[in-house]
Each structure stands twice: as C-alpha cells, then as structure tokens.
Structure 1
C-alpha cells in the first residue's frame, strides 16, 4: 500500500482530524472514519473474498441464456422428449429473433448517429454562411459557398 498517501487506513494526523470532525458534524461519519482507520487495510481482501463467494454462487448461471443444448436454464425440466424438442426449437427461434433485433438496433443507432452528424454539419455550414454574410471574413480551410 502507498504509505505516502495523506488519507490511509492508519492513525495519521489527517485521519484523526477527519474522525474528530466527523463526530462533531454527524456522528455516523466519525464512526465510519474510525472503522476505516481500524479495518481499512482489510477492505481489499474483504472485497475480493466477497466477490469470489458471489462468483462461486452464480458460476452455474453463466452462459445459460446464450442458447445451445444444455445451456438454457429450463433444459430437461419436463422429461417429455417431444415437449423438450419443441421447446428447444422455440428457444432457438427466439434466440435468432433476438439476434435479428440486436442487429436492427445497431443499424438504427448507426442511422441516428449519421443523422445527428448531418444535422450538426448543416448547422455549422449555416453558421459559417451567416458569418460570411455579416462580413466577418472567410475562415481558412472552410470552402466558400
């Protein structure tokens, strides 16, 4: 840890002053600063342990909604082969529809970006024409119309 930092989880004059100020202003702030001073050096390991625990709990959920056999959360839920086959076909169809919708959304976003760029260019051109009309002169690098 960087020991040259002004505010670090240690008993430095700055952290003590912040703790006292926190108790004077609003007691939970002082308590939070005290907790930081005492337990702050363990926060990184606590966060890492908490993240590892949550990752372990949800590891089985990763990749389930990407389609494919055995990857959907409801696969083999009924035991009826005909129903399971129909469901898999429907889920594959829905996945394909979602892919098409995502592609359409990307195309629309690109279209809107191009419209905004064209509108910005038109506004800039109008500004430059008005500027020239007012007699403020040409701008180097901008073609005269």
Structure 2
C-alpha cells in the first residue's frame, strides 16, 4: 500500500480511482502530471486538455500544490507571513534593542515622508508661482500691444 493510499485508509474513507490517481501523481511530483497530460493528449486530446485545465485550476502547474511539496510549505509558511520580526526571541535585551530600533526606523520613515511632502509642496508652489508670473507677463504684454496699436 502506498503512502497516499495509507493516508486515505487512516482517514476511514475509500477514495475513488480519480482521488487515488491524483494522490499517486502528487507523490511523484510535477513531472508525473506533465507526463500524464502528454499521454492524455496522445490518447485522446480532450483528456489531455482536461488534465491541463485541472493542473492550472488546482495550481499544480505553476505552484507547489503537489502533496510532497505541501508539507514543506506548511513548515515554512509560519515564517513567511511577514510578522516574524515582531516575535519575541526569548532574549529580553535583544527584544528591547529590536523594539527601540524599529521605533527609531518608523520615526525616520515618518520624518522622511514629511520631508518628501514638503519638497513636493515647494515644487508645486514654485511651478504655480512661475505659471502666475507667466500669465501676468502675457497679460501685461497684451495690454502694452493694445496700447501701442491705439
């Protein structure tokens, strides 16, 4: 009995032949799925097309959905969510240093974003002042031209 069949046997249910073949292909990895798809295309093209569709839909084609890879992703998933920096290391001095450093970095980021906003505001004000000066110069030139023509 294979590991996939044992897995279903311990769950107390009898899987159908589709589930057993899916488990068998998952044990062998992505290459087995690709071989099954190619054989499906050779035998009867709708079979190959349906296997290809299932591989894409179940994320077996581009992801790590095969059962032998699922265990790996479960073990590493708890560290990949981005909050591991906030966990306690067990060392109080290091945790205090880390908290202080993170707070300082957040303050620096806030100050830098405020600085960038002031730069944008200053640039916008300079562009607006230039626009208003150009507009005033055009209006003055039009009045001078009108006065000379009259």
TM-score tier after normalising by the smaller chain length:
0.3 to 0.5
Relative contact order (C-alpha < 8 Å, sep 6+): which is higher?
A: 2
Q: Which has the higher helix share?
A: 2
TM-score by length of 1: 0.45
TM-score by length of 2: 0.44
